[in-house]
Amino acid sequence: MAPIIEVRNLTKQFGKGAEMVTAVDSVSFAIEPGETVCLVGESGCGKSTTGRMVAGLLEATSGEVIFEGKNIKQLDSAAFRRYRQTVQIIHQDPYSSLNPTQTIRQIITAPLLRHNKVKGKSAAEARALELLEVVDLTPARDVIDKYPHQLSGGQRQRVAVARALTVDPKFIVADEAVSMVDVSIRVSILTMLARLKKEFDVTFLFITHDLALAKYFAWQGRITVMYLGRIVEDGPTQRLITDPRHPYTQALLSAVPEADPELAHHKREIELRDAEIPSLLALPRGCTFHPRCPYFVAGQCDVAVPPLEALPEGGRVACPVRMGERISLLV
Amino acid sequence: MASSNLDWQTDDKREHPAPLTLENVHVSYATRRGKVRAVRGVTVDLHAGESLALIGESGSGKSTLGLAIVRLLPETAEVVPGVITYRRDGREIDVLKLKPNEMREFRWSDCAMVFQAALNAFNPVLKVWAQALDTAKAHGWSDKDAVRKRLVELLEFVQLDPKRVIDAYPHELSGGMRQRVLLALSLLLNPQVLILDEPTTALDIITQRTIIKLLRELKEDQHFTMIFISHDLAIAAELADRVATMYAGRIVELGTSEDIFYRPRHPYTLGLIRAVPTVSGGFEQLFSIPGSPPDLVELPPGCKFHPRCAFASERCKQEEPELVEVGPNHTAACWNWVQVEDELKRNPLHRGALNVLDTAVVSEEIA
């Protein structure tokens, strides 16, 4: 199948001169319709910047975002509008992404009317109520005339999803969409998103720092791991979680605190050579993980950036030294 | 690690009486809407050398309880009724009756609180060294060289390079370094009890692991008595000997870490555990808890969890249950805990491990 979204050598730099940082460095991946892809990594790895470029909120310094086979920079205005509607983004913070002076009715009906999705106010209201039901804000009539501050964090995030759905998107970038929601409610939002996947054929790029959530949400999909602006490993979730090959993926998975005492006490300890992450202003040469990597090979890792190479078990790994080696994450 | 030559209490404190006892502690905040009843009758003994995790969602009262112990609550809060007793070396102190100067003494040298390492936990215009010296002086310790020696030891213990850190301003340090500096500062005056509020929240995963390893060392090698306050169940699983689940201002379940994670008897604890995925565990079906936490000004009658509870019966709507024994050293406040036990017999909580080298694991789908 042709990918719905593809990025090729996507690069984003901020600032200039000595202050310039490369937040995203030559990132390439393709996402097919119906797939669920999680972009994971620690703060500063470039996952959100990548998501914003995919959604068209941020222009790439170089490289391409390809939507349904065409570079978004070369789309005519009608096609560009279609792209902007088809690809939507849900932000992390439902406290700042909704206009506090508007009711939920205004928040949802404005895009419906603006994009001629419905004709007239009553049709817009009917559709708004329908969308609120879709995101499990029931009964929708009790919610529609409220202001964002009258809703809980979880409810606000549902409103943000309903607003994204007004323009019939086929691709949603969910950037830390449940990170600010209480744990007891997170799962219900993920389940709701998973339902959209099925009922509305929405393809998800789910951006998170939480590997356990990524595993749960993309169990049938793929995970892409970023470190300091580059993809270091990707692959089918079940392979990546159980058989990670890149030393950074291994370090990350072994470091995740586990909400289960038995697992917590049987995790392999991976000792890094340096506990601190390098600054984006002074990135190490070669593989950017080399100053911390326990498998560092002098003269190799600190010279050239290792390319992402395909793994027979699925996915890609940017570590020629370790890509053939398996380790167990539990001991 | 340099912990072995650190000179702090090395006697086996597990023989000692409980350093901290809370009896029927209530905390409420005065607001325009009325009284917010943040903590409602918490009674718990903190054993010497143990680490106790207080878990619960926002609004459960866990942070308020931590602040009440070191009396750092805002002025709108009152702690009535309630008794907090602190014991050390045969002394017994009624914490809520301490005068301000005695309280200052107690706060750092007996019971230290470690906050989430946001920048505002520091004075932004003081270097790390000056913050430490200020603290030491405020507690009548003015021998600069001795303070410096102690600070260097502690910074080494938390795996920081003292030369790099001691003359740094807080903003020059990364989040993980700040959390470790806070930990070192909290140990400066040799406290007996540490209260850690969200010690790893907002830190990157690999940094979280460094902090967890340090805290484990404090617990296992130095036998510090610690209270962890967190919304993150993983912190409890990684670090706690005992876990207390809090809901709407009360402890609703208290037991050993294993009992809480594998044999919970309160539906809220069960709900929390079933809502949180693991990375290395087998694929689990997760469930969220319906509804949202109660309004602390207008609490529902009966059990405060009943509007969200799948096990709720008529009685739950009328009478609020007290903690009752549900097993050895295990209490829960639920009228229907036996049904929870039955439910767990049908659907046990042990998730097992994902078979690490076998990717042909069962494929199930969420939702």
Domain ranges within chain A, ordered by starting residue: 5-100+168-242, 244-331
Confidence (pLDDT) at A258: 93
Buried b (16+ CB within 10 A) or exposed e, B328-339: eebbbbbbbbee
Answer yes or no: do B276 and A329 touch at CB < 8 A.
no
Query: Distance between CA atoms of B13 and B260, rounded to whole angstroms?
Result: 25
Confidence (pLDDT) at A179: 85
Work out the mean pLDDT of chain A and round it to a whole number. 93
Q: Which residues of A touch B234 (CB under 8 A)?
A: 256-259, 264
For residue B365, pLDDT over 60 is answered with no
Confidence (pLDDT) at B5: 44
Q: DSSP 3-state assignment of A184?
A: helix
Tell me the sheet residues that pair with B36. B29
- Tell me the CA distances in angstroms from A61 to A22, A49, A282, one per residue in order: 10, 12, 19
pLDDT digits 0-9 by tens, A234-279: 999 999 999 999 999 999 999 999 999 999 999 898 999 988 889 8
Query: Distance between CA atoms of B269 and A247, rounded to whole angstroms?
Result: 36
Query: Distance between CA atoms of A95 and A152, rounded to whole angstroms?
Result: 9
- State the amino acid at position B17 in one-letter form: P
Confidence (pLDDT) at A183: 85
- Chain A 194-253, CB below 8 Å of chain B: which residues? 194-195, 198, 209, 211-213, 215-217, 219-220, 236, 238-239, 241-243, 251-253
For residue B359, pLDDT over 80 is answered with no
Of B1, B111, B96, residue with least CA distance to B46: B111
Work out the mean pLDDT of chain B and round it to a whole number. 87
Query: Distance between CA atoms of B283 and B296, rounded to whole angstroms?
Result: 36
Angle, CA B284 vertex, CA A133 and CA A234 arms, to 5°: 90
Confidence (pLDDT) at B15: 62
Segment B218-245 shows an average pLDDT of: 92
Helix ranges restricted to H, chain B: 62-69, 100-109, 128-138, 144-157, 162-165, 175-186, 205-220, 233-239, 257-262, 267-275, 314-318, 337-346
Please, which residues have CB within 8 angstroms of residue A48's CB and are 6 or more apart in sequence?
Answer: A175, A176, A207
- State the amino acid at position B116 in one-letter form: Q
Mutation pick from B288, B358, B364 vs chain A, by most beta carbons of A within 10 Å, is B288
Which one of 3.30.420.40, 3.40.50.300, 3.60.20.10, 1.10.10.10 gives the CATH number of domain B10-240?
3.40.50.300
Residue A83: pLDDT band by 50, 70, 90 thresholds? very high
Query: Distance between CA atoms of A184 and B291, rounded to whole angstroms?
Result: 9
- State the amino acid at position A78 in one-letter form: A
Answer yes or no: do B279 and A212 touch at CB < 8 A.
yes
Answer yes or no: do B288 and A243 touch at CB < 8 A.
no
Least confident segment among A88-92, B117-121, B272-276: B117-121
Residue B358: pLDDT band by 50, 70, 90 thresholds? very low
Least confident segment among A48-52, A287-291, A326-330, B317-321: A326-330
Segment A80-92 shows an average pLDDT of: 93
Q: Which residues of B touch A204 (CB under 8 A)?
A: none
pLDDT digits 0-9 by tens, B152-175: 999 998 888 999 899 999 898 888
Segment B112-132 shows an average pLDDT of: 85
Residue B6: pLDDT band by 50, 70, 90 thresholds? low
Within chain B, all domains assigned CATH 3.40.50.300 are found at 10-240
What are A204's two structure tokens?
A: 């998800």
Least confident segment among A27-36, A314-323, B131-140, B331-340: B131-140
pTM: predicted TM-score of the whole model, two decimal places: 0.89
What are B318's two structure tokens?
A: 């009328």
What ipTM was estimated for this complex? 0.88
- Tell me the CA distances in angstroms from B183 to A58, B116, B166, B177, one per residue in order: 39, 10, 14, 10
Beta-sheet strand order (sheet of B250-256): B111-114, B193-197, B225-230, B51-55, B242-247, B250-256, B330-332, B324-327
Query: Distance between CA atoms of A230 and A24, rounded to whole angstroms?
Result: 6
DSSP secondary structure letter of residue B48: T
Q: Which CATH class is domain A5-100+168-242?
A: alpha beta
